[in-house]
């Protein structure tokens, strides 16, 4: 009976444990499905550190948010969708928000959030169509979606006039994964409307580190620009391959997840001129950084290293947590209660209003562009800046860029309607 | 004591060949089935359904399919993940083309598609063996996953390239999709797994199973006693891929709810292969034991620290988890290289003669 007893015991423990797990006494429980292990850990760690440190700073400096302690917790997924769903199930009973941190996990969790009624916060990732808040009532991807990113890149490289791209060739180097395919519908629509040639070059998950064949194709086709949607090991692979093949760095532009300091530090000065669109910008001298240093880093409560603090990803992590806490604050304010539940946070996230004044109050001026969400707009379309690698660090290299909101809105609405139809019955809200 | 066989006399050949010659085995199985069918569904939380019960069943079924091929017929395969994918995509296409289709029918039919693909990739097994065959099935693995990525028709040209399970009703109850409750999904999976397992137990005990075992143990000798190797190997591929395909359909439709092509990557094949090897090649029960060790144990280990109120970072737990599972695998393989099923068989034998060992 040995084995059987063991199995039964293990199952019994697991089941009784599952309900008892995450028993939070008080405070607002905001879990993060982190990935500090696995193939994407190098890019995950600075982001997770930033998120963690911002909340730790609020807890240390202000005792939480409007007097209520913020219970920040991480559940490790290793970027695996299977673990992600496990984490979602483990945290959803207590959590007021879920932060899936992977397009794959978002894909699996999104349909369930409608039933479980828990908001899903995917800042700058997830589905672009999540911007249509009337369909994706529980999904939020502010401040910018991938279609925004693609649009801003095109605006910047065309100098604001898309018709100037006519006749040019743009290679779209992307991870062959839901994430990498996300901007394709937008880019295809733009290519057709403006007469430039789009050359999609997929990079399979297994060939991320060896992109010789993709870059051979790029060398042969001589595109005017290479736009990259890469993540994890793919970024470093592409950048070192671009250096090796001598592709002009100033014609090579990446999305915000392809602007990781460590990837470019590996090639150093050879990477000078590489640009990455970003909805966040590092501001080493921002007051919020001083606060984080004082209350978290110097108190020894941070997992980050000194050089990481000024990196793009760490500071983006701060912004992500700020968006969440602003959503919480909006809900607290509206419902007149310091403790809020998931449904109230949904309202809060729908009514985030980040203005220049508010950013100044938070000490985050210039770290993100002002934006506001609404019932029908869950993205906010903040726009962003182009960051340029100067051989040593990323610097802001452009004025504030805005996406073509009208074109994107039409795409969002049709894609969201398509999604809802494929998943019928899908509840939609009427805004106004 | 618990396993005393004294007094259980077999007075006919029929009794001697029964599925459970020892009464305690039958009692034990009845107990497990009782737990699975009656006790667990009432006790389990949503978390337990989604991360322990359903995945263990689905992975067990996949390992069972692989075990038919590798454990019973002796043909090594590294393409399990892709064959699961064939089942899942076949089920997805059938459900989207014929939305009225009964899900049980769709799941059981989708096995046939992966069966056809399995036989096609099984053809080289007539000429090549062992590691060489593994390479041929590896080709299937890469080719099929590539196809799931490239052929837009398979995922209905969705923007993300992923398949998403729609809401499916059966007799007015939602059985799959976001609206379905976990209990319903669990019973659905349990039903299919029980049926397939019973069929497989009987198949492997009968003539076909003996033909496969003969092929596995020495194919020349098998040929000499009149076994048609072509038929034997291809039926093994067909039956194995069928079961794997059904498990793939369950994997996506009753558990994950959505799937991108790289879900069916080689790591899935390895995972299923590990379950089959650690559970015990050539056994049915081993698949379930293996799945409990590989699939359920990490989940249980993950929640243990919190249960006892120990404060450890989630990432550290994950690292510890990988180390513990790794060492457990080595430990079990050292004490019993033939897998957990064999370990149980030894324990059972000892229990039968206890307290008077030879």
Q: Do A86 and B302 touch (CB under 8 A)?
A: yes
Residue holding tokens 């770290």?
A: A367
User: What burial class does residue B142 get, using C-beta atoms within 10 Å of its C-beta: 0-12 exposed, 13-18 middle, 19+ buried?
Assistant: middle
Rounded CA gap, B100 and B253, in Å? 16
Q: Give CB contacts under 8 A, 24+ apart, made by A7-13.
A: A7/B289, A7/B292, A8/B35, A10/B292, A10/B296, A10/B297, A10/B300, A11/B40, A11/B48, A11/B52, A11/B296, A12/B43, A13/B300, A13/B304, A13/B307
| Inter-chain residue contact A37 with B318, CB threshold 8 Å | yes
pLDDT of residue B156: 86
Confidence tier at B233 by pLDDT (50, 70, 90): very high
In this prediction, residue A24 has a pLDDT band, given cuts at 50, 70 and 90, of very low
Residue B91 lies in a domain: yes
Structural domains of chain A sorted by starting position, each given as residue range(s) with its CATH number in brackets: 2-144+283-383+410-422 (3.40.50.2300), 147-278 (3.40.50.2300)
Chain A, 176 to 205: residues with Cβ < 8 Å from chain B are 176-178, 181-182, 184-185, 202, 204-205
Task: Assess whether pLDDT exceeds 80 at residue A201.
Answer: yes
**Within a domain: B145:** yes
State the pLDDT at residue A6. Answer: 56
Task: For A178, name the nearest residue in chain B, comparing CA atoms only.
Answer: B160
Considering chain B, what percentage of its residues have pLDDT values greater than 70?
Answer: 99
Whole-number Cα distances in Å, A211 to A237, A244, A254, A256, B175: 7, 11, 16, 20, 43
pLDDT averaged over every residue in chain A: 87
- The band of A5, judged by pLDDT with boundaries at 50, 70 and 90, is low
Give me the percent of chain B exceeding a pLDDT of 90: 56
**Residue range A86-114: mean pLDDT, rounded:** 87
Q: What is the pLDDT of residue B68?
A: 95
pLDDT, tens digit, 9 for 90 and up, residues A125-174: 888 888 888 889 999 988 899 999 999 999 999 888 888 888 899 999 99
Share of chain A above pLDDT 70, in %: 94
What is the helix (H) or strand (E) element at residue B314, kind and residue range?
A: helix B314-335
Question: Among residues A360, A361, A340, which one has the least CA distance to residue A351?
Answer: A340
pLDDT score of A17: 43
Confidence of residue B193 (pLDDT cuts 50, 70, 90): very high
> What's the whole-number mean pLDDT along residues A183-207?
89
Q: What does the pLDDT average to over A263-272?
A: 88
B134-160 pLDDT, tens digit each: 888 999 999 999 899 888 899 888 877
pLDDT confidence of residue B186: 94
Closest residue to B166, CB basis, from A7, A76, A423: A423
Residue B123 lies in a domain: yes
Tell me how far apart the alpha carbons of residues B19 and B204 are, in angstroms, rounded to a whole number. Answer: 12
Q: Is residue B142 part of a domain?
A: yes
- Say how many domains are in chain B: 1
Task: Give chain A as a 3 state SS string.
Answer: CHHHHHHHHHHHHHHHHHHHCCCCCCCEEEEEEECCCCCCHHHHHHHHHHHHHHHHHHHHHHCCECCECEEEEEEECCCCHHHHHHHHHHHCCCCCCECCCCHHHHHHHHHHHHHHCCCEECCCCCCHHHHECCCCCCEECCCCCHHHHHHHHHHHHCCCCHHHHCCCEEEEEEECCHHHHCCHHHHHHHHHHHCCEEEEEEECHHHCCCCHHHHHHHHHHCCCEEEEECCCHHHHHHHHHHHHHCCCHHHEEECHHHCCHHHHHCCHHHHCCCEEEECECCCCCCHHHHHHHHHHHCCCCCCCCHHHHHCHHHHHHHHHHHHHHHHHHHHHHHHCCCCCCHHHHHHHHHCCEECHHHHHHHCCCCCECCEECCCCECCCCCCEEEEEECCCCEEECCCCECCCHHHHHHHHHHHHHHHHHHCCCCCCCCCC
Measure B10 CA to nearest chain A CA, in Å.
24
Residue with the bigger pLDDT between B338 and B8: it is B338
| Predicted local distance difference test score (pLDDT) of residue A21 | 41
Each residue of B28-51: pLDDT tens digit?
999 999 999 999 998 888 888 988
Specify the pLDDT at position A11. Answer: 52
pLDDT band at A107 (very low <50, low <70, confident <90, very high): confident
pLDDT tens per residue across span B200-218:
999 999 999 999 999 999 9
Q: Look up residue B280 and give its two tokens.
A: 């015990």
Task: Say whether A81 and B162 touch across the interface (CB within 8 A).
Answer: no
DSSP codes joined into one string, B129-184: -HHHHHHHHHHHHHHHHHHHHH-GGGGTT-TTS-EEPPPEEETTEEEESTTS-HHH
Residue of B nearest to A113 (CA): B178
* ipTM of model: 0.82
Which of A10, A14, A304 best probes binding to B when mutated, by most B CB atoms within 10 angstroms?
Answer: A14
Spatial contact of B108 and B248, defined as CB atoms under 8 Å apart: no
Q: What percent of chain A has pLDDT over 90?
A: 41
CA of B229 to nearest chain A CA: how many angstroms apart?
A: 36
| Model pLDDT for residues B60-87, shown as the tens digit of each residue | 999 999 999 999 999 999 999 999 999 9
Range of the domain at B238: 44-278
Residue in the block written with tokens 């993940």? B81
Does B340 fall in a domain? no
Interface residue B190 vs chain A (CB under 8 A): no
A427 touches B at CB < 8 Å: no
Q: Is residue A103 less than 8 Å (CB to CB) from chain B?
A: yes
Contact A110, A419 (CB under 8 A): no
Residue of A nearest to B29 (CA): A4
**Interface residue B307 vs chain A (CB under 8 A):** yes
Q: Which residue has the tokens 């093949």?
A: A245
Closest CB to B344 among A3, A15, A76? A3
Report the residue of chain B nearest A86, measured CA to CA.
Answer: B51
Cα four-point dihedral sign A50, A56, A60, A65: positive
Q: Does A108 touch chain B (CB under 8 A)?
A: yes
Residue A69 vs residues A36, A66, B187, B204, B314: alpha-carbon distances, Å: 25, 9, 41, 60, 20
Quick one: pLDDT at residue A1? 43
pLDDT at B335 over 60: yes
Residue A26 has pLDDT above 80, yes or no: no
Nearest to B47 among A13, A18, A423 (CB): A18
Q: For position A427, what pLDDT does the model report? A: 82
CA distance A224 to A154: 12
Best mutation target among B34, B40, B43, B51 (most A Cβ atoms within 10 Å) is B51
Instruction: Return the residue in A8, A15, A118, A424 with the most chain B beta carbons within 10 A, the one to mutate for interface testing.
Output: A15
End-to-end CA distance of chain B, in Å?
16
- Pick left, alpha or beta for residue A159 (phi over 0 → left; psi -120 to 50 → alpha; otherwise beta): left
- What pLDDT, on the 0 to 100 scale, is given for residue A10? 52
Note the pLDDT tens digit of each residue in A365-388.
989 999 999 998 999 888 899 999
Domain assignment present for B129: yes
Q: CA–CA separation, B199 vs A37, rounded Å?
A: 41
Q: Which pLDDT does position A178 carry in this prediction?
A: 82
pLDDT digits (tens, 9 = 90+) for A298-354: 988 888 888 888 889 999 999 999 999 999 999 999 999 888 999 999 999 999 999
**Residue B212 lies inside a defined structural domain of this protein:** yes
What pLDDT, on a 0 to 100 scale, did the predictor assign at position B88? 96
- Give the whole-angstrom CA distance, residue B92 versus residue B84: 12
Question: Over 80: is that where the pLDDT of A199 sits?
Answer: yes
Q: Which residues contact A276 (CB under 8 A, 6 or more apart)?
A: A253, A254, A255, A256, A258, A259, A312, A386, A387, A389, A394
Q: Report the SS3 class of residue B259.
A: strand
Cβ pair A15:B296 closer than 8 A: no
Write down the pLDDT at residue A204: 84
Query: Is B40 an 8 Å CB contact of chain A?
Result: yes
Q: Is the pLDDT of residue A3 over 60?
A: no
> Looking up tokens 């072509």, which residue turns up?
B230
* Cα separations in angstroms, B111 against A305, B234, B275, B283: 52, 15, 21, 21
- Banded pLDDT at A16 (limits 50, 70, 90): very low
Is the pLDDT reported for residue A15 higher than 60? no
Is residue B299 within 8 angstroms of chain A, CB to CB? yes
């Amino acid at each position: 009976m040995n084995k059987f007893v063991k199995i039964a015991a293990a199952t019994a423990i697991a089941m009784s444990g599952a309900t008892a797990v995450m028993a939070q006494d008080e405070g607002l429980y905001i879990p993060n499905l982190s990935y500090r292990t696995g193939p994407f850990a190098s890019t995950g760690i600075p982001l997770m550190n930033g998120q963690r440190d911002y909340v730790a700073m609020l807890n240390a400096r202000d005792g939480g948010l409007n007097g209520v302690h913020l219970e920040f917790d991480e559940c490790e997924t290793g970027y695996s969708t299977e673990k992600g769903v496990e984490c979602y199930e483990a945290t959803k009973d207590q959590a007021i928000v879920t932060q899936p941190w992977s397009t794959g996990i978002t894909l699996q969790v999104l349909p369930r959030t409608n039933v479980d009624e828990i908001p899903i916060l995917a800042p700058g990732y997830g589905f672009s169509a999540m911007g249509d808040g009337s369909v994706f009532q529980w999904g939020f991807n502010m401040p910018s979606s991938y279609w925004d990113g693609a649009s801003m890149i095109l605006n910047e490289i065309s100098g604001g006039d898309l018709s100037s791209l006519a006749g040019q060739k743009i290679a779209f180097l992307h991870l062959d994964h839901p994430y990498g395919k996300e901007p394709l519908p937008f880019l295809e629509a733009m290519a057709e409307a403006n007469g430039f040639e789009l050359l999609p070059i997929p990079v399979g998950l297994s060939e991320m580190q060896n992109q010789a064949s993709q870059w051979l194709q790029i060398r042969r086709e001589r595109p005017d620009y290479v736009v990259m949607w890469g993540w994890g090991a793919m970024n470093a692979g592409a950048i070192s391959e671009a250096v090796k093949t001598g592709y002009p760095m100033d014609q090579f532009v990446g999305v915000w997840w392809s602007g990781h300091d460590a990837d470019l530090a590996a090639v150093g000065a050879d990477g000078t001129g590489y640009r990455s669109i970003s909805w966040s910008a590092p501001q080493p001298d921002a007051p919020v950084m001083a606060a984080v240093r004082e209350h978290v880093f110097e108190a020894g409560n941070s997992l980050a290293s000194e050089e990481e603090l000024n990196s793009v990803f760490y500071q983006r992590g701060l912004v992500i947590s700020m968006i969440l806490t602003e959503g919480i604050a909006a809900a607290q304010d509206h419902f007149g209660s310091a403790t809020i539940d998931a449904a109230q946070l949904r309202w809060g996230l729908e009514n985030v209003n980040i203005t220049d004044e508010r950013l100044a109050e938070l000490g985050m001026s210039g770290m993100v562009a002002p934006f506001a969400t609404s019932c029908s707009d869950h993205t906010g379309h903040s726009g962003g800046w182009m960051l340029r690698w100067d051989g040593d660090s990323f610097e802001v290299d452009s004025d504030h860029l805005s996406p073509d909101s009208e074109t994107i809105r039409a795409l969002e609405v049709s894609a969201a309607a398509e999604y809802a139809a494929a998943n019928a019955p899908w509840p939609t809200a009427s805004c106004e | 004591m618990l396993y005393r066989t004294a007094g259980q006399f077999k007075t006919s050949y029929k009794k001697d060949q029964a599925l459970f010659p020892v009464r305690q085995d039958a009692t034990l199985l009845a107990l497990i089935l009782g737990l699975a069918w009656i006790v667990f569904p009432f006790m389990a939380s949503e978390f337990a359904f989604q991360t322990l019960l359903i995945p263990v069943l689905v992975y067990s079924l996949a390992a069972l399919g692989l075990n038919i091929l590798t454990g019973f017929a002796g043909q090594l395969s590294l393409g399990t993940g892709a064959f699961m994918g064939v089942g899942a995509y076949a089920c997805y296409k059938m459900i989207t083309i014929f939305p009225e289709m009964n899900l049980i029918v769709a799941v059981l039919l989708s096995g046939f598609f992966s069966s056809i693909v399995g036989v096609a990739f099984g053809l080289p097994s007539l000429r090549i063996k062992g590691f060489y065959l593994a390479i041929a099935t590896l080709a299937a693995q890469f080719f099929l996953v590539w196809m799931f990525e490239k052929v837009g028709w398979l995922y209905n040209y969705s923007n993300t390239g992923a398949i998403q399970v729609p809401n499916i009703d059966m007799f007015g109850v939602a059985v799959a999709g976001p609206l379905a409750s976990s209990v319903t999904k669990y019973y659905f999976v349990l039903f299919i797994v029980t049926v397939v397992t019973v069929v497989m137990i009987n198949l492997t005990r009968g003539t076909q199973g003996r033909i496969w075992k003969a092929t596995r143990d020495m194919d020349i000798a098998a040929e000499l006693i009149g076994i048609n190797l072509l038929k034997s190997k291809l039926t093994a591929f067909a039956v194995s891929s069928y079961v794997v395909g059904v498990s793939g359909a369950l994997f996506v439709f009753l558990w994950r709810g959505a799937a991108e092509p790289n879900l069916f990557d080689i790591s899935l094949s390895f995972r299923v292969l590990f379950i089959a090897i650690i559970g015990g090649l050539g056994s049915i029960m081993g698949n379930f034991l293996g799945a409990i060790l590989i699939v359920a144990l990490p989940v249980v280990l993950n929640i243990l620290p919190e249960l006892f109120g120990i404060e450890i970072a989630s990432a550290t737990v994950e690292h510890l988890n990988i180390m513990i599972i790794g060492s457990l695998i080595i430990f079990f393989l050292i004490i019993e290289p033939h897998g957990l099923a064999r370990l149980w068989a030894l324990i059972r034998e000892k229990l039968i003669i206890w307290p008077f060992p030879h």
